[in-house]
Amino acid sequence: MTIRTLVLGVALSAVATLVAAGNGGVESRAGQGPSLDSRGAPPAPAVKDLHSRPGYWTPERYRGARPMPLPSGEEASQQKLIEDISGGQDDPAARQERSDDARPGQPPLLDSSERELLEKRLYLPDDSRAEPAEPGAKRGSPDAPVPQLAGERAIPLDVGVRRAYFSSQPLVPLAADREYPYSAIGRLFFTIPGQGDFVCSGSVIAARLVLTAGHCVHSGSGNEQGWFTNLEFAPAYRDGVAPYSTWKAATAFVTDPWYKGQDKVPNVADYALIELEDQLVGGVSRRIGEVVGLLGYQTNSLMPNHAHLIGYPRVFEAGERMHQVTAQSYRRETRYNTVLYGSDMNEGSSGGPWIMNFGPAAAGQVGANDPARNRVIGVTSYGFETLEVQGSSTLNDTFTSMLGRACARREGNCQ
């Protein structure tokens, strides 16, 4: 895989066609791999046993890891999207049926005193993150410090294109990231062989499993050389500190459409799972879900819906702190099995969860049609940064097939 920025001019060259698409079933597209096998079932996911280099992650490597570029379309494609979209209204004929395939979330089993034993500092972030912007610095300029960019972009009820409304804000209070359900979300460190170290976002959805984007785990090249290495997850990461330690990956799983997708988005299944190794907490072997809790999931629920989109985008706080966007479904790209939501997050947010009914229920809040709390319905896959929208592949049978494979890989992965 070449560095993802080389893909930006190609990644959505088919946008002008797909935005005008009808409401037929999901199709496989050139370069994406089939969405169904000859028997009408999702193809088996690709699986890789991982062997990280002992002692690979040093403070210098943590500090030097770059945010994974968010796959995007070129300016001409984005302009065409503006011209073609009819207004962003929900098309009743394109609505997805809600799936019964779902699993609830679960708070941590350990109390705060036990979890505090795990905290470790990975590195000291660059102090320039807090410096004021230089006079005349231009938005998007590499000379413009990140906080100034954040100050310009994080506007309540901001809008990406037409009616893709959203709100974008840091966590308040800042320490909320140590509490469930935020604690189940974190930063994923990894190495792309020959290119260097990178970071994405991810979330715990089972006792040992982290959900992220396929492009944060494998290049999409269709071969074994495409796997990334040295994967390590830091839940609730903030400012160089991993409050609940870092967790090494044991096995990775990506969908067949992504594995064979030639690194192109939109992709019908740009998501992946990572099985993490256990570690000792107070002398007892623990799985990550016991320590930080886990989010649930729900399939075929991206549209119509609204969600919290959470991750570590570089544009806000240099990607050193968790950021959240709240938005509703905006437009489905039927031919690619993806849905767009308004969002101003960028590189580094890839793989971050899209969560319906985020947070605890209030006393007396029994819910309406869909009361389930803290269920992931998608992950950040691609975006149109200048339009402030992001897309996610729909979690469907391909996702549950991959999850079943991951759950069966080792006893206790999901129960």
CATH of the domain at 285: 2.40.10.120
Q: Residue 163: which pLDDT band, with cuts at 50, 70 and 90?
A: confident
| pTM, full prediction | 0.79
> CA angle at residue 343 from 75 to 233, to 5 degrees?
105
Q: What is the DSSP letter of 346?
A: -
Q: What is the pLDDT of residues 317-375, one digit of tens each?
A: 999 999 999 999 999 988 889 999 999 999 999 999 999 999 988 888 776 677 789 99
- Give yes or no for a cis peptide into 132 (omega within 30° of 0): no
Domain hosting 387: range is 4-132+141-359+370-409
- The pLDDT confidence band at residue 159, using thresholds 50, 70 and 90, is confident
> For residue 69, which of 198, 261, 252, 186 has the smallest C-alpha distance?
198
Any residues with CB less than 8 A from the CB of 36 and at least 6 apart, and which?
28, 42, 43
Q: Among residues 16, 13, 37, 46, which one has the least CA distance to residue 264?
A: 13
Q: Helix or strand or coil: residue 162?
A: coil
**Rounded Cα distance, 76 and 321, in Å:** 32
CB atoms within 10 A of CB 131: 12
- Helices assigned H by DSSP within 93-191: 112-115, 146-153
Taking only Cα atoms into account, the Rg of the chain, rounded to an integer number of angstroms, comes to 20
pLDDT tens readout for residues 372-398: 899 999 999 999 867 889 999 999 999
At residue 60, does pLDDT exceed 80?
A: yes
Give, as one character, the DSSP assignment of residue 122: -
Residue 35 pLDDT > 90: no
pLDDT at residue 284 above 60? yes
Of 40 and 358, more confident: 358
Amino acid 34: pLDDT: 42
**pLDDT value at position 49?**
87
Could you tell me how far CA 236 lies from the centroid of its own chain?
Answer: 14
DSSP 327: E
Higher-confidence position of 414 and 123: 414
Q: Residue 364 domain-assigned?
A: no
Residue 142: per-residue pLDDT: 36
- Measured between alpha carbons, how far is residue 17 from residues 187, 217, 265, 372, 415 in Å? 35, 29, 14, 36, 43
**Model pLDDT for residues 166-192, shown as the tens digit of each residue:** 999 999 999 999 999 999 999 999 999
Number of domains in the chain: 1
> 């972030």: which residue's tokens?
125
Would you say residue 130 has pLDDT above 60?
A: no
Q: How confident is the model at residue 92 (pLDDT cuts 50, 70, 90)?
A: very low
Structure tokens at 143: 């000379």
Q: What is the pLDDT of residues 245-257, one digit of tens each?
A: 999 999 999 999 9
Instruction: Please report whether residue 254 resides in a domain.
Output: yes
Kindly indicate the confidence band of residue 39, based on its pLDDT and cuts at 50, 70 and 90.
low
- Whether 64 is covered by a domain: the verdict is yes
Residue 414 belongs to a domain: no
Candidate from 6-15, 71-80, 294-303 with smallest mean pLDDT? 6-15
Is residue 275 in a domain? Answer: yes
Residue-averaged pLDDT of the chain: 80
Q: What gap in Å lies between CA 298 and CA 399, rounded to an integer?
A: 10
pLDDT at position 5? 38
Give strand ranges (E) for 122-269: 158-159, 165-170, 185-192, 196-204, 209-212, 229-235, 241-242, 247-254
pLDDT for residue 85: 53
